[in-house]
Structure 1
Amino acid sequence: MTRFITWRSLLALLLILPLGVACANPNLDTREHVVKVVPLTDGLENPWSLAFLPNGDMLITERPGRLRIFRDGQLLPDPVAGLPEIRAFRQGGLLDIALHPDFENNRLLYLSYAANHQGGITTRVARGRFENDTLHDVEVLFTAEPASDNGRHFGSRLLFDRAGYLYITVGDRGDMPRAQDLNDHAGSTIRLHDDGRIPEDNPFVGRSDARPEIYTYGNRNAQGMALHPDTGAVWQNEHGPRGGDELNLIRAGVNYGWPVITHGVEYSGATIGEGLTEKEGMEQPVHHWTPSIAPSGMAFYTGDVFPNWRGNVFVGALAHTHVTRLVMDGDRVVEEEPMFREMGQRIRDVRQGPDGYLYLLTDHTNGRLLRVEPAE
C-alpha cells in the first residue's frame, strides 16, 4: 500500500536525523508568517540558555555544568574554562546566562547555577570577565538562603533592565510555604545592582522581617523573563503545578499569591492553599495556562524579519512541546497561537537574535539549537 509523507512527518524526521542527513526544511504555516525551522547544531546536553556576543558568537549553557561556544556555524568541542563550582542535581546545574549591558567594554558575563551551600544546595549567581574564550576573576554576587536538600524549583532566570538593575528568579524549592516568607529568598524575584549591592529603593529594605534583596514574592518557579520593548517593564512567566502557569507583570513589593491562591491543583488533584484563585492583597496573573504548558524561556519580538510578530511575546513550552505566541494589547493578552507542536520538542529557551530571527533551545540529552527563519 502506498504511504504518503506529510510535512509534519518530514519536520519530525528532520529533527531526529543527524544534521548532515537533513537536507530540507519543510515550510510551516503560522497565522501571520510562513516559516521554516532550521537546525544549527545538536550534541548539546540539556541546554538551558543562550546569549549573543558582539562578535557573532553564541554562548550556550548546558545543565550538567558546561558553557559552550557556537562559532562560525560550529559548536566548539571544548567548554569554556574558569566556571565556578556547579552542582548538577536533578533540575539544578548551570542554568541562565546574561551579558552585562556594557559587555562590549567590560566583558562581564553573569551565570546562575545550583551550588552546594551550608549542607544543602541552592541558587547562586556569579559574574566573571570573558576573554579569550575563558572566564576570569569569577565572583559570587548572590546566594539564595536558606539552602535546601532537594533538587527542585531553582528558578534562575537573569535579566538586566534599562536602568542596569539585575533581576534574578528563585523558585520555591518545592517547599510551597517558603514563597510567602519574606525572610526567605525562595519563591521570589531578586533585584540587585550589577555588582551585587542591594538597591536602597528595594521594597523591603529596612524591614527586620524581610530580606532586602527581595523585589517580589509569592512566585512558584519563574523560568522566563523579558523586558517590554516599549515600556521597559519586567515580565515573567512561572510554572504552576497541575495547571496555573502564569504570565506576570513584575512590580515592586507585589505578592503574586503562591501558594495561597492559584489556578492550579496538586498533581494528585488535591486543593492547594486556600483553594482560591484570588484574594485581596494578592496579584492576579495577566494570563494563565490551565492545563499547564510548563513555560520556560521568553522573549518579546522587536525585529524586522517577521513584521507581523512585532510586540508579540514568545514562550517556550516544556510539557506541551511547542512555542506559544501571545498577542498583547497593552498589558492584556488578546490572542494566543501555539506553534511548532509538530516538532515534539521541549523548548527550554526562546531568544531573538541580533539578525531578527528567533532562536530556540530544545531540552533533551541531545539538545539542539534551532533558528526560525522566513520560508523562501
Structure 2
Amino acid sequence: MLRITNSIKKYLLLVMLVLLPTYSQAKPQVEPVQIKVEQLTNNLGVIWSMEFVSPTEILFTIRSGKLGIYDLSSNLVQWVEGLPEIHAHSQGGLLDVAKSPDYDQTGWLYFTYSKEDFDTSKTTLARAKLVNHQLKEWQEILVTDSASHRNIHYGSRIAFDDQGHLFFSVGDRGLRAPAQNNENHIGSIIRLNLDGSVPDDNPFVGHSRFKPEIWSYGHRNPQGLVFDMQRNVLWAIEHGPRGGDEINRIEKGKNYGWPVVSQGQEYGFDKAVGVKQKAGMVNPEYVYIPSIAPSDLLVYSGDEFSMWQGSLLTGALVLRHLNRVILNQQMLPAGEYRALTDLNERIRSLAIDDKGRVYVGTDSGKILRLTQAEYSLRTHEKEKN
C-alpha cells in the first residue's frame, strides 16, 4: 500500500492549486448607488449600439437594419438614409457604430453588420460620414472570412486605442472549431489601422497562411469590447455556453481557448464544454456562473457617478440588469454589483455623455438615461405634464 507522506500531500496540494483556474468570481452585490431612470424613447426595436455624435445627439443602430438619431433637446428621432443591404436575421443585422478618435476632423463613423454572401453571412466592417441625416462615402473596410449558414455569434463590437488602431470582434458563428484556426477570422479580435490597412506589428503578419488582421483568437462571441485608456488595456466580455461568460484582458497573439477551454456546460445536458484550462491558453479574468448574457462594455468615467470611476459596465440580456465590475490596482476584478434588476429589461447597449450620465439601450426599443438620485422610473411624457 502506498504511504502518503506529508511531502507527497504538499506536492499533491500544489498540483491541485496549479490546475485550478485562476479567474475571479466574486459574489454579486446590490448596487449601493441610488439611480434615477428616465425613459427617453420606446418601441424602436433592438437598440444594438449607441454613440454620441454631438453633446445632444445620440446615433443608434437598430438590429433590423435601421440607423437613427435621437435629439436630446427636442426628444425627437430622425432616421438616417444611405445604409447598404443588411442581412437582418436572428442575431444578425446592423450591429455596432463607433465614431473615429479623430471624428471632429474627419467625420468617419465605423459600422459592423452582417452581410449576405450567397446562402451564408459574414461579419463586416465599414465606414461612412454623416451629412444631413444621410450616410456618405460608404466604404467596406473588411468583409471577414467568417461565413456561416447559422445567423448567430457575429461578435461585432468596435474599440479604438490611442495609437491609431481599430479593434473589432468576430464570434465563432456557431461553428466552434474554426475559432482555433487562424486561417479564417472566426472567433477572433481583429486589429487594423483606421484606414483599414494591417499594422506591421500584428502578430501574424508575414505568416504564409494565417490572417494578418487577427490580434487574438479562441473567442466564442465577444459582444463587448473597450480600450481602457487609463490602464492601457483592451477588455472584452463574451458569451459562454450555458454558464461561463468571460471578461478577458486581450493581448497580442494570445489564444483564449474556445472551444478547447470553457467554463460552461453544453446546452440541454450537464456536460462540460472542453476543459477548464490548458497550457498555452489564457484564463479569463472574471467568469459569470450562471451566465448573465453580457452585451456592450464600457469603462466608466465622469462626474455623475463618482463611485463608479474606472469600473467596467456591461448590460445583461438574460439576467436583465446593469452589471458593474470594480477593478483593483492590479487591474483584476475585485467586486461585482448589479442594478436596474426591477426594470426587467434586456440591456443591449450603453453610452456615457460628457457629464457622466449613463444611457441604456434595450431590446424593447427604449433609451433610458441614468442619473444619481432617488430611484424612480418616469417618462419624458410625465415630466412634461
How high is the TM-score relative to the length of structure 1?
0.89
CA deviations on 1:219-266 (whole Å, 9 max, x unpaired) are 000001112241221101000010010000010100000000100011
Change (3 A) 1:152 1:128: same
Counterpart of 1:317 in structure 2 is 316
Distance 2:232 2:260 in 1: 29
Aligned pair 1:370/2:365, yes or no?
Answer: no
Which structure 2 residues correspond to residues 65-144 of structure 1 after superposition, within 5 A? Answer: 65-74=65-74, 76-144=76-144
Distance 2:188 2:280 in 1: 16
What is the CA-CA distance between 1:33 and the residue it aligns to? 2.1
Counterpart of 2:358 in structure 1 is 358
Change (3 A) 1:70 1:165: same
Distance 2:146 2:57 in 1: 37
- Aligned with 2:370: secondary structure? strand
Aligned pair 1:303/2:302, yes or no?
Answer: yes
Counterpart of 1:188 in structure 2 is 188
Which amino acid letter does the alignment assign opposite residue 369 of structure 1?
I
Counterpart of 1:345 in structure 2 is 345
Distance 1:114 1:235 in 2: 23
What is the CA-CA distance between 1:339 and the residue it aligns to? 1.1
Structure 1 gap ranges (5+): 1-28
Counterpart of 2:5 in structure 1 is none
Counterpart of 2:278 in structure 1 is 279
Which structure 2 residues correspond to residues 155-174 of structure 1 after superposition, within 5 A? Answer: 155-174=155-174
What is the CA-CA distance between 1:105 and the residue it aligns to? 1.5
What is the CA-CA distance between 1:375 and the residue it aligns to? 0.9
Task: Output the aligned Cα RMSD.
Answer: 1.6
The share of aligned pairs that are identical, in percent, is 40
Distance 1:355 1:30 in 2: 24
Change (3 A) 1:271 1:298: same
| Greater gyration radius | 2
What is the CA-CA distance between 1:30 and the residue it aligns to? 5.8
Counterpart of 2:219 in structure 1 is 219
Distance 1:318 1:258 in 2: 21
- Aligned with 2:40: secondary structure? strand
CA deviations on 1:277-334 (whole Å, 9 max, x unpaired) are 1100000000011111000111111111111111111110001000111111132111
CA contact (8 A) 1:32 1:308 kept: no
- Aligned with 2:39: secondary structure? strand
Distance 2:81 2:299 in 1: 32
CA contact (8 A) 2:57 2:71 kept: yes
Distance 1:194 1:105 in 2: 13
Distance 1:78 1:359 in 2: 18
CA deviations on 1:156-203 (whole Å, 9 max, x unpaired) are 001111112110100000000011011111100010111110111100
Counterpart of 1:264 in structure 2 is 264
CA contact (8 A) 1:260 1:272 kept: no
Structure 2 gap ranges (5+): 1-28, 375-385
Distance 1:144 1:348 in 2: 23
Distance 1:150 1:175 in 2: 8
What is the CA-CA distance between 1:269 and the residue it aligns to? 2.5
Which amino acid letter does the alignment assign opposite residue 283 of structure 2?
Q
Distance 1:294 1:31 in 2: 19
- Aligned with 1:59: secondary structure? strand
Distance 2:183 2:201 in 1: 18
Change (3 A) 1:328 1:67: same
CA contact (8 A) 1:297 1:351 kept: no
| Higher relative contact order, structure no. (Cα contacts within 8 Å, ≥ 6 residues apart) | 2
Distance 1:104 1:170 in 2: 28
